[in-house]
């Protein structure tokens, strides 16, 4: 992998890590469900007009959109809105990798290798430790956001399976077309649970510092993290083995935690950082396949969707 391609992979990981503080800024202005609807609508409208639909079955396209676009972000945004630390969210969301391995084994009958099983066990140990630690803080009030973020990881994993079954001719076009699924159900949820009054209020004061920061965060999420970041990542995955490219995504929680500390002044407790290394290590162990003696990858491993943030 040439140096410039490695630098591109690092750059993508940095943009995805910075996206978590951007989401935090947007949630200061917009309610979470309405924010998810806004995010995907801004991508869905030009996609319907300009981008040809990928040659995939509708059931996998809709399943990908519901799992990846709806369930993941409903739970992630709700978790962050109810007190999930921004940096910690970027770490706990890595649970999608072990969830994907387990769901693929249970639903698709894919073989779980010893390396994957060990990686899942290590990652689950780290996530369990974070949950136990959070359960002991503030009378357990900080545990719910962790559970919600884990549910977001599970939604991402479900989307991964649908993406794998779709076998798209163009993964990037599939990602774009996935965006047409979330807007309608998210708008229904927003109006039903957040109410027209709260939504109208979020659309006022957009020229205030908070409003401008929220709009800037939303544009960063859509234009930089999703379109540019995912586009570059998909291009890299098409030019290099996924075992070479995928480990760069482990930089996302590092950047997420570091940028949350620098931008938002949000510290992460040392015990959570220590447990986080178990999560990242387990994900890395389970996602990097063993190699044959000839240097090729072992077939049959689980492909996952690019971590669109």
Identify the pLDDT of residue 297.
44
Would the pTM of this model clear 0.75, i.e. be above it? yes
Identify the pLDDT of residue 289.
58
Which is more confidently placed, 156 or 245?
156
User: pLDDT tens-digit profile of 175-209?
Assistant: 999 999 999 999 999 999 999 999 999 999 999 99
Mean pLDDT computed over 253-274: 85
- What stretch of H or E contains 196? helix 195-202
Identify the pLDDT of residue 6.
85
Least confident of 69-83, 109-123, 148-162, 209-223: 109-123
Which is more confidently placed, 72 or 94?
72
Nearest C-alpha neighbor of 255 from the set 7, 17, 15 = 17
Placement of tokens 């940095």 in the chain: 14
Mean pLDDT computed over 57-67: 94
Distances (CA, A) of 289 to 9, 75, 86, 304, 309: 19, 30, 30, 13, 24
pLDDT at 299 over 70: no
C-alpha 20: how far from chain center: 10
| DSSP state letters, 68-112 | IIIIHHHHHHHHHHTT--HHHHHHHGGGHHHHHHHHHHHHS----
Return the percentage of the chain with pLDDT > 90, whole number: 44
* Residue 173: how many other CB atoms lie within 10 Å: 18
Least confident of 2-16, 17-31, 98-112, 238-252: 238-252
- Cα–Cα distance measured from residue 143 to residue 132, given in angstroms and rounded to the nearest whole number: 8
pLDDT at 248 over 90: no
Using 50, 70 and 90 to split pLDDT, how confident is the model at 295? very low
CB 180 within 8 A of CB 48: yes
Mean pLDDT computed over 235-251: 76
Which is more confidently placed, 135 or 200?
200
- Cα–Cα distance measured from residue 168 to residue 145, given in angstroms and rounded to the nearest whole number: 34
Mean pLDDT computed over 71-92: 92
Distances (CA, A) of 60 to 57, 115, 123, 175: 6, 28, 28, 12
Structure tokens at 152: 């977001």
Identify the pLDDT of residue 275.
86
CB 92 within 8 A of CB 250: no
Beta strands in 126-260 (DSSP E): none
Placement of tokens 């109006």 in the chain: 191
**Average pLDDT across the chain, whole number:** 86
């Amino acid at each position: 992998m040439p140096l410039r391609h490695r630098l591109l992979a690092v750059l993508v990981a940095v943009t995805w890590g910075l996206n978590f503080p951007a989401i935090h800024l947007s949630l200061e202005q917009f309610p979470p469900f309405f924010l998810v609807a806004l995010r995907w609508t801004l991508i869905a409208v030009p996609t319907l007009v300009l981008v040809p639909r990928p040659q995939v079955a509708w059931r996998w396209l809709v399943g990908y959109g519901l799992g990846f676009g709806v369930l993941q972000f409903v739970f992630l945004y709700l978790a962050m809105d109810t007190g999930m630390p921004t940096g910690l969210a970027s770490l706990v969301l890595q649970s999608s990798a072990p969830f994907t391995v387990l769901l693929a084994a249970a639903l698709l009958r894919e073989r779980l290798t010893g390396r994957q099983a060990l990686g899942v066990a290590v990652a689950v140990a780290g996530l369990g430790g974070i949950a136990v630690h959070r359960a002991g803080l503030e009378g357990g009030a900080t545990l719910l956001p962790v559970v919600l973020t884990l549910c977001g990881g599970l939604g991402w994993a479900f989307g991964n399976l649908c993406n794998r079954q779709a076998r798209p001719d163009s993964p990037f076009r599939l990602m774009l077309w996935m965006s047409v699924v979330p807007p309608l159900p998210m708008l229904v949820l927003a109006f039903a649970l957040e109410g027209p009054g709260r939504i109208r209020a979020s659309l006022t004061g957009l020229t205030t510092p908070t409003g401008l920061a929220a709009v800037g965060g939303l544009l960063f999420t859509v234009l930089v993290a999703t379109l540019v970041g995912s586009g570059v990542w998909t291009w890299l995955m098409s030019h290099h083995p996924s075992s070479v490219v995928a480990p760069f995504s482990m930089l996302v929680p590092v950047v997420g935690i570091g940028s949350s500390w620098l931008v938002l002044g949000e510290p992460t407790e040392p015990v959570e950082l220590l447990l986080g290394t178990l999560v990242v290590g387990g994900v890395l162990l389970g996602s990097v396949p063993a190699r044959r003696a000839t240097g090729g990858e072992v077939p049959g491993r689980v492909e996952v969707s690019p971590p669109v943030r």
